[in-house]
Structure 1
Amino acid sequence: MRKENGLELFWLLMGQMSILMAGALLVPFLAALIWQDKEALLFVLPMLFAYGLGKKLLEMGAAEGRQRQLTIKEGVFFMAYVWPLMGIIGLMPYAISGLFPSFSAAFFEAMSSLTTTGLSCLPYDRLELPRTLTLWHSIMSWLGGLTFVVVMVTVLPQVSGCFGLTLSARQSIFFSPVWNRMAQSARQGTTVYAVLTVVATGIYYLAGLNPFEALVRAMLTLSSSGGSSVYAFIYYNSPVLELAAMVVMLMSSLSLLLVWKAWKVRKPFMLLQDTEIRNFLLVVLGVGAVLASHLYLTGTYDFLESLRYGYFQTMSFISTNGFVVAPFWAWPSFDRYVLFLLVFVGGCIGSATGGLKIMRLLVLFRLSWAEMRRTLHPRMVLSIKVDHLPVPDKIVGRILAFFFLYMTVFFVFVMLLSLSGISIMQALGLAAGCLTSTGASSALFGLENLHILPDWAKLVCSLLMVLGRVEIFSFLVLIDMGRRNIQKRW
C-alpha cells in the first residue's frame, strides 16, 4: 500500500490539467493536417510531453484521495502552480517555431494568452503568425478563462473564503472542498462556458464573420482576452459587428454561477434581479454616457460616433477585453483616464473577467457610507447588506484586505517596471494591464507592443499576470508556507 503525502488531490488536479493541455494541442495539430500546413509538427512533441507528464502526475495522486476533501495546502499549491505548468506546455510550439527570440518572450506570450491579458511581445501583429499558432493562441485564451472560472468556483472558496463569491451567487450555491462536489461544480461551469461559446460564435457569424474567425473571436471575447491589436474592430468599421461584440462582452462579464442557475430554472430574466448585475449595467450606461458626452463636446466625433465609440470602449475596458474600435490613445486625457479606471472595476464575480469585480467594490462603497454615518452617529448599529441580506464581517474583512493587497501589488510592480526604461505613465498602464488582464490599458499611454522590454521585465510581467489570476492571497499564503518551512528547518 502506497504512503500518502497529503498532496494526492494536488497531483490529480495537476495531472488532469496537463492531459487537458495535451488534448488542446491536438486541435491545432489536426487543423494543420487538414489545412496541409507544415506547422503541424510544432505540436507533436508538446502534445506527447503534456500527455506523458499528465499520466505521471495522475499516478502520483492516490485514487483514495478522491474520497476526501481538498486541503488548503493542496488548493494553494494548485492555484500557484497550475498557471506555470500550463505556460511551460503552452510556450513549446512557440519556442519550437523559432519565431520568438528568447525563452522569456515565448513564456510571456503563452502566459499572456492563458491569463487572458491579450498583450504581445512580438514586433508585429499576432495576425501575421501562421494560422495554426493563431488558433493555438485562441485556444489557450479560452482554456485560461475556463480555468480561472473553474478555480473560482471550486478551489478558491476553500483557500480564501470566497472573497465575496457567495454574495454574487446570492448565497444559494453550496461550495464544498469534497472531490465529487468540486467535479460537479467544474462540470456546471464548463457546460455554461461551452454553451456561451457556441452562442457567441453564432452571434459573430450572423454579424458577418466566417465560421473560423467567428469561433476564434468568440473564444477570445468570452475569455476576456481581446487585446488592442489582435482582431481589432477598428479594421472592420462595422456597427453591426461592434454591436455583436458588445453583446458577447456583456455575456463574458456575467457570473457563470448565476447563468447556470437561471438556465436550470428556465428563468433568464432572474439575472436582472441580481444586485451585482444591475450595478454592472448601471456603471456601463453611466460611464458610457460620460465618455460619449465628453467626446462630443470636445469635438472629437459627431453625436452618433461619440455614442458608438464611447459605449463600445466602455464595455471593452470594463469587461477587461480591451478590443479597439477607435484610436482611444489619441483621445483627450479625461477619456483615457476613465478607461484606465474601468480596468480595475471589471465584471461580475464568477466571470472570466479581471479587475476587482463589481460586488467587491459595491461592498467597499457601502462600508465607506456606513462608516461615515457611524461617525456622525456613534451609537448607531449599522450592517452592510446585499440583496437585503447582511454581509458577514468575515467577508467584509477579507474584501478590505484583498483591496489593500491588490493596490499594494499594483504600485510595487509599477515601480519595478519603471526600471525597464519606459515612462512612469507607461509603467502604470502596463502594470494595470497585467494585473487586471486588460492588455489594452498599456496602449492608453503609447505602449502598444512589448518587444522593446528586456527579458527580465517580460518575466516580471508574466508573474504579475499570474498574481492577478490567483487573486493574490493564494500566492501570499504560499510564501508564508515557505517562510514557516524555512523557520522549522533552522
Structure 2
Amino acid sequence: MHPAIIFRVLGILLMVFSIALLPPIITSIIYQDGALVAFLDAFAITFAAGALCWYPVRKRQQDLRTRDGFIVTVMFWLVLALSGSLPLMLAEQPGLNFTDAFFESMSGWTTTGATLITGIDHLPESILLYRQLLQWLGGMGIIVLAVAILPMLGIGGMQLYRTETPGPMKDSKLTPRITETAKTLWYIYAFLTVCCAIGFWFGGMSLFDAICHAFSTVAIGGFSTHDASIGYFDSIAIETIAVIFMLISSVNFALHFYAWRFRSFKQYLADAEVRTILTVLTIAGVVTFAVLTASNTYEANDALRYGLFELVSIATTTGYATADFTAWPIFLPFMLFFLAFMGGCAGSTGGGLKVIRVLLIYKQGSREVKRLIHPNAIIPIRIGGRPVDDRVVEAVWGFFSVYLMLYLIMTLILLATGLDFVTAFSAVGACINNLGPGLGGVAAHYGDISDVAKWTLSFAMILGRLEIFTLLVLFTSTFWRQ
C-alpha cells in the first residue's frame, strides 16, 4: 500500500472536481441568485484541500496497486460527498445542516435521487444546476473520468477502472488502452446528454430545465428542478423523450460503443440483458395498464401514459414522477418498487442488482431444479449462447447473499429509529438500489427521518453504488495484512 500515492491521487481529483463548481458559479452570476459567495467559498476550500493533499507528495511516481485502487475508489466517493455538501450548507437556500447536506450530496453523487429538500422550485438556479451536475458526474463514475487523465500524470489507472466498473464482467475493455476506454465512454455519455437536452428543449422545456433534466436523465438520477418532477411540465412529448433516454441509459454502455463503432444495432438484440429487461418491462407494462384501467384509476389513454412512465422510471432506478404511484391500487406500488431491485444492465448508469445478476440467479435456480431430476447430468449455464464459468455464478450468489444480509441489518436499524416497516423497508431498498423515492413516509422526501436513519441510508447509497464488495473489502482484516 502506498499512502503517499493515494494522497496524490485524491489531491489531484479534488482539484479537478473544484472545476465542476465553475458552471454553478457562472449561473449564479447570470441569475444573481444570491448563492455566489457560497460557491466561491466551496471552490476555494475544495481546491485548497486538494492542493494540500497533492503538494507534499507531488513528485512521487508509482503505479497504484489493486489495494490502493480500492482505497482511492471508496475514499474519493466519501471525499466527494463531503466536498459536494459544502455549497448546500453555505448557501442561504437550502442552508442544510451537515447531516442533511451530506445525505443530499451522497444521493447526488451515487445517482440515487433521494432528496430531503422541499420547495425545490424556489431554490437558486445555481443550486438547482449544481444538484443535477452532481448526478451527471456520478452517473458514469468520477473515477472513470479520472482514469482518462491519470496516465498523463504518471499514474496507472487500470486498477481504478476495475474497482469502479459495475457488473460481474469487469475485465473486458472496449479499446486496447484504458485511457481510450474511459475517454470513449465519456464521449458517448456526453453525446447522449446533449441529444437528451436538445430533445427536452424542443419538447417544451426552457433551456435551463432541459440541460438540468438531461444531466439527471442520462445519469438515471432522478433529481429535478421542480417539486413535481417531470409531472410539472404535463407534456406527453417530454415524458416520451424521458422514457427513451431512461431506457437507453439503462443499457450497457459497451453496446452503445459497439453500435457507434460498427454502425450496427445487432448487438442490442443479441444481448441477453437487453432482451431480458425488455421482456420484463413488457410484461409489467401489460399488468400495470390492466390494473389501472380495471380499477378505474385512469382512463385507457392516461393509464398507458402514466403507467408506462412510472414503470420505466422506477424499474430503471431513475425515480422521476408524473403521478403518485404509491397511491395506486392493489399490488402495483410494490410491483414497481420490486422491479427496481433488478435495475439496469451491467455497465449502465442504472442501480439495482443488475439484470445480468438476476438472470444468472434465475438460471442457476433452474439448473438446480433440473439436477433434482437428473442428478448426474452436467448442465452448463449459458448467457448469450456462451457458457458461464461456475466461479462467476458463485460470485453472484455470494453478492446476493451479502446484499440480503446487509439489507436486513439496515432495515432493522431504521425500524429501531421508530419508522414503520413499509417506510424502513422501502427506504433501504430505494437507497441501496440507488432508486430514490420509496414508499410510506419516504415516498415524497426524506426530510422527516432521524439523523441516524439518514447516515444509515447514506451508507446504503455508497454500498449500492460501489456494488457492496468494493466497500466491504476495506472492513476485512485480510485486506490490511501486509
TM-score, structure 1 normalization: 0.89
Q: List aligned pairs for 1:109-120, cutoff 5 A.
A: 109-120=104-115
C-alpha distance in structure 1 between counterparts of 2:441 and 2:87, whole Å: 32
Q: 1:409 to 1:294 in 2, by over 3 A?
A: same
Q: 1:10 to 1:61 in 2, by over 3 A?
A: farther
1:225 aligns with 2:225: no
Number of corresponding residues: 469
Letter in 2 for 1:309: Y
Q: 1:173 to 1:452 in 2, by over 3 A?
A: same
Residues 166 and 346 in structure 2, CA contact (< 8 A), matched pair in contact too:
no
Q: Look up the SS of the partner of 1:309 in the other structure.
A: helix
Match of 1:425 in 2: 422
TM-fit CA distance, 1:218: 0.6
1:332 aligns with 2:332: no
Identity %: 29
C-alpha distance in structure 1 between counterparts of 2:351 and 2:143, whole Å: 11
Residues 10 and 61 in structure 1, CA contact (< 8 A), matched pair in contact too:
no
Match of 1:14 in 2: 10
C-alpha distance in structure 1 between counterparts of 2:15 and 2:54, whole Å: 10
Q: Which whole-Å deviations, capped at 9, do the CAs of 1:274-302 have from their partners, x for residues lacking one?
A: 11112111111111111111111122112
1:303 to 297, 300, 305: 300
Q: Which runs of 5+ in 1 are unaligned?
A: none
* Cα RMSD, aligned residues only: 2.5
2:74 to 74, 80, 89: 80
Q: Which whole-Å deviations, capped at 9, do the CAs of 1:143-181 have from their partners, x for residues lacking one?
A: 111216838995577449975235xxxx863699xxxx4
Q: Look up the SS of the partner of 1:325 in the other structure.
A: coil
C-alpha distance in structure 2 between counterparts of 1:443 and 1:61, whole Å: 48
Using the TM superposition, name which of 352-361 and 53-62 deviates more: 53-62
TM-fit CA distance, 1:185: 2.2
Letter in 2 for 1:173: K
Q: 1:305 to 1:149 in 2, by over 3 A?
A: farther
Q: 1:286 to 1:103 in 2, by over 3 A?
A: same
Q: 1:333 to 1:347 in 2, by over 3 A?
A: same
2:458 to 440, 455, 462: 462
Q: 1:138 to 1:163 in 2, by over 3 A?
A: closer
Residues 422 and 440 in structure 2, CA contact (< 8 A), matched pair in contact too:
no
Q: Which whole-Å deviations, capped at 9, do the CAs of 1:359-385 have from their partners, x for residues lacking one?
A: 111111111111111111011101111
1:259 to 256, 260, 269: 256
Residues 309 and 322 in structure 2, CA contact (< 8 A), matched pair in contact too:
yes
C-alpha distance in structure 2 between counterparts of 1:314 and 1:82, whole Å: 33
Q: List aligned pairs for 1:381-400, cutoff 5 A.
A: 381-400=378-397
Using the TM superposition, name which of 313-322 and 37-46 deviates more: 37-46
2:236 to 226, 239, 245: 239
TM-fit CA distance, 1:8: 5.6
Using the TM superposition, name which of 206-215 and 48-57 deviates more: 48-57
C-alpha distance in structure 1 between counterparts of 2:258 and 2:469, whole Å: 28
TM-fit CA distance, 1:482: 7.8
Q: 1:151 to 1:432 in 2, by over 3 A?
A: farther
Match of 1:108 in 2: 103
Letter in 1 for 2:97: S
Match of 2:269 in 1: 272
Match of 1:197 in 2: 193
Match of 2:444 in 1: 448
Q: Look up the SS of the partner of 1:354 in the other structure.
A: coil
Letter in 1 for 2:279: L
TM-fit CA distance, 1:191: 1.2
Q: List aligned pairs for 1:116-127, cutoff 5 A.
A: 116-122=111-117, 124-127=118-121
Residues 417 and 453 in structure 2, CA contact (< 8 A), matched pair in contact too:
yes
TM-fit CA distance, 1:484: 5.0
Residues 316 and 343 in structure 2, CA contact (< 8 A), matched pair in contact too:
yes
C-alpha distance in structure 2 between counterparts of 1:9 and 1:375, whole Å: 53
Q: List aligned pairs for 1:311-330, cutoff 5 A.
A: 311-330=308-327
Q: Which runs of 5+ in 2 are unaligned?
A: 148-157
Match of 2:212 in 1: 216
Using the TM superposition, name which of 140-149 and 206-215 deviates more: 140-149
TM-fit CA distance, 1:395: 1.2
Residues 319 and 435 in structure 2, CA contact (< 8 A), matched pair in contact too:
yes
Match of 1:348 in 2: 345
Q: 1:459 to 1:467 in 2, by over 3 A?
A: same
Using the TM superposition, name which of 419-428 and 452-461 deviates more: 452-461
Residues 271 and 277 in structure 1, CA contact (< 8 A), matched pair in contact too:
yes
TM-fit CA distance, 1:72: 2.0
C-alpha distance in structure 2 between counterparts of 1:226 and 1:121, whole Å: 13
Q: 1:362 to 1:156 in 2, by over 3 A?
A: farther
Letter in 2 for 1:83: W
Letter in 1 for 2:18: A
Q: Look up the SS of the partner of 2:243 in the other structure.
A: helix
Q: Which whole-Å deviations, capped at 9, do the CAs of 1:85-112 have from their partners, x for residues lacking one?
A: 1111111111112433521111111111
Letter in 1 for 2:114: L
1:435 aligns with 2:432: yes
Q: 1:484 to 1:172 in 2, by over 3 A?
A: closer
Q: 1:160 to 1:81 in 2, by over 3 A?
A: closer
Task: Considering fraction of residues, name the structure with more helix.
Answer: 1
